[in-house]
Structure 1
C-alpha cells in the first residue's frame, strides 16, 4: 500500500525524517518492513506549513521518492513546525501527480494508506454524496481523495473527528448496498496546520500499521546526547506508518479503531467507531 508520516513540534528540517533516520521514509519507499508491499514507488508528496493560518505548501511527483533529486534538495532547505509526507503504492488507479498525496483543500491536508474495496462499483454513489460546491476541487481518481472530500462534506473543517466517523459510516453503508462486506481499510491523517488527527480503522479489524512517538520529555531523559531528539523539543509529536529507528521506548503502536489528536503539545487518544450522519 503506502507509507506516511506527520510531524508537529519545533521547526525541523524535513530531511531529518525523510532521509537521515536509519529507517527513514525514503528507506521505507524501498524496504518497508510492515507494509503490504515492500516497495512504494508510485509517486510521493510532501506538505508543510509556514504558519498555521497559511494555506500549506505542497510538492508532489510521480517519480519514486528515492530517485527524485529535487526532493532531497527541498528536504534539506525546508524547515517547518508541522509537515506531512507520503509515499505511494498504487491500488488500481494511475500513477499521476493528481493522485499523489497529500490532498489539499484550503488549510487542510489529507493522507491515506489502505483502500476502498471494489471502489469502481462504489465510486459513483460515493462521489454523488460529495457537497456540490466541493466537487470541482477534486483533481484525481483515487479512493483516497474521495475519502477526503466526503470528510469535508461531513464537516471536517468544523469537527474533524466526527466528520471522519461519518465518512466511515457512509462508506460502509454504501459498501453494504453493493454487497461489499468489508469495504474500508485505512490509516488516515488530516491536519489544518494547528492539529493533527490520525485514525487507524478498518471494517475487518485488521488495519494497516500505525505508530506514534512517545513522550519526547521522557526521551530527552533516556537519550540526553541524541541530537535528533534534542532538535525537536519536548512537545514534538510524530505519527507514522512504521518507526524510523529502533530506539527502545520511542514508539507506541496505535490500537485498532483509534483516533489520535495532537494539538499544541497535548496528545489525546480515543476509541473510533463509525457514526451515521
Structure 2
C-alpha cells in the first residue's frame, strides 16, 4: 500500500535519506517494518535545492522500475543535495488489473502549481464516485489529470481548493484545502453507499512548507480478504532535530524539537530504532512551519 518519505530542513545528500538508514525508504521496497506488502510498482520523488536554478521548481524523477534496483536513481542520489524532498514507492494489489505506468507514479504536481502530493492508501469504490468529484476540480487542473489513480484526483481536489494554487500557501491554507477535499470525498462516498474502510494518508510539500495527514474513512468496515491498508490503520511517523547524519552508528536528527531546523515525516521510521521518532496520531494532520531559522512541527486534530 505504498510508503512515503518527506523532508524539510537544511540541505542533505539524497543518498543519506533514501538509501543509508537500515530501514530506508528504498529498503522498504521489499522489507518494510510496518507493512507486509511489497512495493514494486514504481518510484517517484520531487526534490528541491535552494542553490539550484529556479529553486522553487523541484527536480522530479519517476519510474516504474523496482526502485531498489534502479542504478540511475542510486547515481542521482549520490550527487544531489536537497533542502526538501517528497519521495514515494508504490505498492499495489498483486493482480493484472492494476495499471503500472509513469503517469500513476507519485508524487503528483500539476504545471503552474508549486505543491506536490503523495498518497498512501486506497479509495474504495473510486470508479463509482470519481465523476462526482469533477465539479469540485478547476478546469485547468482537470485537464492535467493523466493517470488512472484515485490519488491524482485527491491531489486535484486539494489544489483546486487552495486560495492561490499558483503560489506558496501557508500551512493553514493547505490544511483547509485538505479538509475541504476530504469532505467532498466523504459526501461522494455517502451518495454511493460506500462504507468500506479507505486509507487516505497524504503528504504535501512545496519546498517551503510541509503538511501530512493520517486519515481513514470508515475504519473497521472491511471485506474478508481485504488488503492490509484497508484492514489496518496505516502508519505515519515523524522526527525533528538538526544535523541529520550518522550519529553513534545511527542515521538520525539530533537535538530534538527545541532547536530543530529539520523535520522528517515518513510512513514508518527510517531506522530499526524508533527512539527518536514520534507517531502521528490517527485522524490528525502534521504541519511544519518555519519559525526564523527553526522548523516547528504541529499536530492538529482532523475532523471532517
- TM-score (normalizing by structure 1): 0.90
Give the C-alpha shift of residue 184 in structure 1.
Answer: 3.6
Report matched runs for 1:187-266 at 5 Å: 187-205=201-219, 207-213=233-239, 215-216=240-241, 225=248, 228-229=251-252, 234-264=260-290, 265-266=295-296
**Alignment pair present for 1:271 and 2:301:** yes
> Which residue does the alignment assign to 1:45?
44
Task: Quote how far apart the aligned CAs of 1:231 are.
Answer: 9.0
TM, length-normalised to structure 2: 0.82
Pair 224,58 (structure 1): closer, same or farther in 2 beyond 3 Å: closer
What secondary structure does 2:78 align onto? helix
Aligned length: 270
| Structure 1 residues 101-155: Cα deviation after superposition (integer angstroms, max 9, x where no partner) | 0101221110000011011111222234311121122121100000000011122
Q: 2: CA distance between counterparts of 1:230 and 1:111?
A: 23
Match of 1:77 among 76, 79, 91: 79
Q: Which moved more, 1:13-22 or 1:174-183?
A: 174-183
Q: Does the 8 Å contact 1:93/1:142 carry over to 2?
A: no
- 1:204 CA displacement: 2.4
RMSD: 2.5
Hey, which of these two has a bigger chunk of helix by percent? Answer: 1
Match of residue 174 from structure 1: 188
Aligned CA distance change for structure 1 residues 144 and 224 (closer, same or farther; 3 Å): closer
Larger CA deviation: 122-131 vs 172-181: 122-131
8 Å CA contact retained: 2:7, 2:262: yes
Counterpart of 2:103 in structure 1 is 98
In the alignment, is the contact (CA less than 8 A) between 1:2 and 1:40 conserved in 2?
A: yes
- Matched residue, 2:15: 15
Q: Secondary structure at the match of 1:239?
A: strand
The answer for the alignment partner of 2:224 in structure 1 is none
Identify the residue that residue 199 of structure 2 maps to in structure 1.
185
Q: Which runs of 5+ in 2 are unaligned?
A: 220-231
Give SS of 1:262's match: strand
